[in-house]
Amino acid sequence: MEYLGIELKKPKVSFFDFTCCEGCQLQIANKEDTLVDFLSLVEVVNFREISSEKKDHYEIAFIEGAISRQDEIERLEKIRKQAKLVVALGTCACYGGVNSLKKRFSVEDVVNEVYGHNPVETLPVKSVKEVVAVDFEIPGCPISKAEFESIILHLVLGTEFRFKKYPVCVECKQNLNHCLLDEGKICLGPITRAGCNAVCINGKLPCYGCRGPAEENNWPSLKQILTEKGFSPEQIDEKTSFFNSLTEVTKNES
Amino acid sequence: MKVDMNIDVHHLTRVEGHGNIHINVKKGKLVDARWAVVETPRFFEAMLRGMSCEMAPILTARICGICSIGHALASLRAIENALGIDIPVIAKKIRLLAKHGETLQSHFLHLFFLAAPDYLNVGSVIPLVQSNRAVVEIALRLKRLANDMCDILAGRTTHPVSLCVGGVSRPPNKEDLHKLREQISERIPDAERTVELFKTIQVPDFIRETEYVSLKGEENYPWIGGKLVSTDGVLKNENDYLAMTNEYKEDFSTSKFTRLSRKSVAVGALARLNNNYNFLKAKDIAEEFGIKPLNHNPFMNNIAQLVECVHVMIESLELLDELLDEPMDEISSEYDIKEGEGVGAVEVPRGILYHHYLINKKGLVEKANCIIPTTQNNANIHYDLAELVEQAVNNGKQDTEVKKLCEMLVRAYDPCISCSVH
Ligand code: SF4
Ligand code: SF4
Ligand code: SF4
């Protein structure tokens, strides 16, 4: 790509998937409008889901998925050694994601429930940063295509990307949605980082906080409102722990 | 000449998830042919326990990034069957259209990004951006249509937001539906060009007699709910899905295997087409490719997907006409939480998917079972590989050619491996 007549260096990037649904990678393959531009901005050297090319030289490693087996830990450590920049892609990679719901049971119990007499190997779920150092995190279940694009542009240009500080409610109100709290639902928009354009609430599904906590959030007050509305601690917990993304703000309180 | 062959494909590319192929031939005789799924298991059925049933579709959508709408729909159907909920006709149509969007998205992704590179002799779609720009542009336009369709009907392509217990939570707006109708009509020539393109490829000639399982259409090509049928003549009710699957486990694979009248079965586009050919709205396309039931060539699954794409585009235009004619006021049914048990069978892009829940009187999931298409295909892929290698070796094919054929065979099933070890 040419910028002011100067060749910008095209970083070599790789995508690696671990325990997850691969929906975040898919957002990139599904960026029909800008896929071709994206491919001119970077050099994709590993993208197993869509490509047979495999190379060991890359600068940026995108890690999708949570870590839940010994061989995954080893694979991840190898990638960390190779890459200059490790980016956690999606809520599974950033926080463990829905995979963390496994935590409510013992490892033996979940293995027995699904595989019975034929046990398989598994570990308690970890986020990427619990295993190796992470340079940048892109949350979302799935990631927002538009935000991903903007982040890549910043990375390539070497400028800092800033996440929105305010919560999802701001975007939700801009979209003139009816507030779901008023419709008797638990919505975690007030404590969740904006940047998804309140996509769930636009479809009338409450926000369960996949993007992690907003810098500006007030959990104690939301918790009080929910309690006053008659929701039980279990009902509230079911939502706040759904993506395992809000423990940072909810753990001190409960 | 008696050949020795040792083929090891670690983490096969251009498939969703992680799987390995091992082939061992000694002195021209097949010793071992294995399709091993090595994906890390995720334990969704265990995690569902104790969760409010309304959250189940939101969680189970995350089993698979590609067929999240299909999972949500199977989950919803299981819950609605358990609670005895009848959803409004409009909601049914909206759901089916959302599913059609997903089928198009998944099939086109597979045809252009995952399968086509083998036939065009490149490692991925990326070099095609330079060498076959026109093809890539067709692919992107068709995928774009599919994405827009899912966004309009389900609020988001990956992990839908407006499908809820009782129906749908938000109706699509009519202006968007009008535009969508136009967009589909405009894309029909692209679909025709895709048909022409795939007519130029040489589909490997390989036959292994197989039992094909799918939903059974009554008046239409089937997608959501109904009777279960196999080409060996088995017919069951949706609730009796376990009699169609018979899951078992092999040590070398983290995914379970299934069987029915033979040691394996196949599901997917070719299975649907084999069982429901008469309901196809794109029979002319099927004829152009010479697919007729019963077709036993697994590589033809690619072509069956393409035929389905055209069928789905035609049917979507009809559904849109109906929706545009009707008021969108009744989009969901009221319901009460109660104890119950229900099964939901849905044809997702890769084949028939089952969700089964036991719900307690508080509305919490007590027990869950999900049987995924790729799980049902794994055993068949495994046995196909053995037969394919034997035939190829007998025909004097060399390592590299056999390896490529094996990879193409697995890809033809479009396996969704992370799904299969949910
Ligand atoms: S964050 Fe969500 S969409 Fe992304 S891989 Fe995990 S489950 Fe899939
Ligand atoms: S609480 Fe939820 S629905 Fe209400 S404004 Fe905030 S994000 Fe929107
Ligand atoms: S609305 Fe909430 S749950 Fe939905 S994408 Fe945004 S942050 Fe995630």
Q: Which domains does chain A have, with CATH numbers?
A: 2-157 (3.40.50.700), 168-247 (no CATH)
pLDDT reading at B106 higher than 60: yes
pLDDT reading at A5 higher than 50: no
Burial class (CB in 10 A: 0-12, 13-18, 19+), B28: middle
The atom number, within ligand 2, closest to the CA of A198 reads: 7
Query: Is the CB–ligand 2 distance for residue A187 below 6 Å?
Result: yes
DSSP A129: G
pLDDT, residue B281, reads 97
Strand partners, B32: B24
Q: How far is B99 from B69, CA to CA, in rounded Å?
A: 6
Quote the tokens at residue A92: 């599974």
Q: How far is B336 from B248, CA to CA, in rounded Å?
A: 37
Contact yes or no for A48/B11 (Cβ under 8 A): yes
CA–centroid distance, residue B183 to ligand 2 (Å): 33
Least Cα distance to B347 among B272, B237, B290 occurs for: B272
* Tens of pLDDT, residues B228-249: 999 999 999 999 999 999 988 7
Quote the tokens at residue B416: 């969704």
pLDDT, residue A2, reads 42
Least Cα distance to B80 among B329, B328, B333, B330 occurs for: B333
Q: Is there a contact between A32 and B43 if contact means CB atoms under 8 Å apart?
A: no
Q: Is there a contact between A25 and B65 if contact means CB atoms under 8 Å apart?
A: yes
At residue A1 the predicted structure's pLDDT band, cuts being 50, 70 and 90, is: very low
pLDDT, residue B97, reads 98
Share of chain B above pLDDT 90, in %: 78
CA–centroid distance, residue B226 to ligand 3 (Å): 34
Mean pLDDT, chain A, rounded, equals 89
Contact yes or no for B234/B261 (Cβ under 8 A): yes
* Tens of pLDDT, residues A110-133: 888 887 766 778 888 999 999 999
Angle between helices B269-276 and B301-325 (to 10 degrees): 70
Q: If you search the block for the tokens 């990956």, which residue do you land on? A: B158
Q: How far is B131 from B124, CA to CA, in rounded Å?
A: 12
Share of chain B above pLDDT 70, in %: 99
pLDDT, residue B15, reads 81
Q: How far is B147 from B97, CA to CA, in rounded Å?
A: 12
Query: Is the CB–ligand 2 distance for residue A65 below 6 Å?
Result: no
Judged by DSSP in three states, A103 sits in: helix
Instruction: Choose the closest CB to A118 out of B124, B162, B249.
Output: B249
Contact yes or no for A23/A56 (Cβ under 8 A): no
* Tens of pLDDT, residues B166-202: 999 999 999 999 999 999 999 999 999 999 999 998 8
Least Cα distance to A249 among A218, A206, A207 occurs for: A218
At residue B1 the predicted structure's pLDDT band, cuts being 50, 70 and 90, is: low
Quote the tokens at residue A199: 């996509």
**For residue B145, what is the nearest residue in chain A, using CA coordinates?**
A32
pLDDT, residue A49, reads 67
Mean pLDDT, chain B, rounded, equals 93
Higher pLDDT, B375 or A185: A185
Least Cα distance to B313 among B143, B148, B191 occurs for: B191
Least Cα distance to B48 among A124, A250, A238, A64 occurs for: A238
Q: How far is B28 from B95, CA to CA, in rounded Å?
A: 52
DSSP A19-81: BS-SHHHHHHHT-TTTHHHHHHHSEEEEETTTB----S--SEEEEESBB-SHHHHHHHHHHHH
Higher pLDDT, B21 or A48: B21
A214-228, A240-254, B57-71: segment of lowest average pLDDT: A240-254
Q: Is there a contact between B46 and A54 if contact means CB atoms under 8 Å apart?
A: no
Vertex B76, ends A200 and A94: CA angle to 5°? 40
Least Cα distance to B353 among B378, B373, B374 occurs for: B373
pLDDT reading at A254 higher than 50: no
pLDDT, residue B130, reads 76
DSSP A207: P
Q: Is there a contact between A142 and B159 if contact means CB atoms under 8 Å apart?
A: yes
* Tens of pLDDT, residues B132-151: 888 889 999 999 999 999 99
Residues 40-69 of B with CB under 8 A from A: 40-43, 45-47, 49-52, 55, 58-59, 62-66, 68
For the CA atoms of B182, B184, B190, B191, what is the dihedral angle to 10 degrees?
-150
Partner B contacted by A189 (CB < 8 A): no
At residue A252 the predicted structure's pLDDT band, cuts being 50, 70 and 90, is: low
The atom number, within ligand 3, closest to the CA of A172 reads: 1
* Tens of pLDDT, residues A69-104: 999 999 999 999 999 999 999 999 999 999 999 888
From chain B, pick out residues whose CB is under 8 angstroms from the CB of A120: 41, 254
Least Cα distance to B55 among A234, A131, A52, A21 occurs for: A234
Least Cα distance to B45 among B264, B267, B371, B332 occurs for: B371
* Tens of pLDDT, residues B331-350: 999 999 999 999 999 999 99
Q: Nearest-CA distance from A48 to chain B in Å?
A: 5
Partner A contacted by B252 (CB < 8 A): no
Partner A contacted by B156 (CB < 8 A): yes
Burial class (CB in 10 A: 0-12, 13-18, 19+), A218: middle
At residue B68 the predicted structure's pLDDT band, cuts being 50, 70 and 90, is: very high
Vertex B110, ends B106 and B114: CA angle to 5°? 145
Query: What is the CB neighbour count within 10 angstroms for residue B74?
Result: 30
pLDDT, residue B18, reads 80
* Tens of pLDDT, residues B396-419: 898 899 999 999 999 999 988 777
Burial class (CB in 10 A: 0-12, 13-18, 19+), A154: middle
Contact yes or no for B367/B340 (Cβ under 8 A): no
Query: What is the CB neighbour count within 10 angstroms for residue A191?
Result: 26
Q: Is there a contact between A51 and B59 if contact means CB atoms under 8 Å apart?
A: no
